[in-house]
Amino acid sequence: MLGATVVFEGRKLRLCSVHLDRIDSIDVDQRGAHLSWDEAISLLARETTDETVRSRCVKELLAWAGSDRVIIGGDFNTVFCSKAVRKMETVFKDALAGTSDYLTGTYTKSGLPVAPRLDFLFYSKKLACLKAHVVRESAGDHYPVKAEFCFGS
């Protein structure tokens, strides 16, 4: 994780960018990820129930980042219902929660009929998310999540 603390309107705000390890068992090349439906279902089961490299990284990330006026975004290399994301949601809110883009895929080269959402933007409860969406254009293989925040009360 890369983090910076900025002072905005006299208040400190920590901004963090992450790129968690990808799932080793997935065959990925320049054209994208290659996995069958059976492999996708098995992977989903492991990500939602098992302790993984990503869920262990989130535990460390939470200890390091704190929770006071923090925005953490990036490629979590896991899906919205995973153990890693659920751990993030014990402290932070998902900027796309409650929006029409909540289930929108952000990885463009999955090889599956439904693109998975691997990219997240989390924010602390001392902030408010005014609007958020998935930007459906990119120079790379992921669509970014964009949001507008303000300081909460």
Helix (H) / strand (E) element for 83: namely: helix 83-88
Domains and CATH numbers, the chain: 2-26+33-151 (3.60.10.10)
Of these ranges, 6-15, 73-82, 91-100, the one predicted with the greatest mean pLDDT is 91-100
Confidence of residue 147 (pLDDT cuts 50, 70, 90): very high
Percent of the chain residues past pLDDT 70, beyond the cut: 90
CA atoms of 17 and 41, how far apart (whole Å): 28
For residue 1, what are its two tokens?
């994780």
Does residue 142 have a pLDDT over 70?
yes
- pLDDT for 93 equals 97
pTM: 0.87
98-129: string of b/e by CB count within 10 Å (b at 16+)? ebebeebbbbebbbbeebbbbbbbbbbeebeb
Mean pLDDT of 31-60: 80
In the predicted structure, residue 30 carries a pLDDT above the cut 80: no
Rounded average pLDDT over 68-81: 92
Q: Taking residues 83-101, what's their average pLDDT?
A: 95
Confidence class of residue 27 from pLDDT cuts 50, 70 and 90? low
Report whether pLDDT(91) > 90. Answer: yes
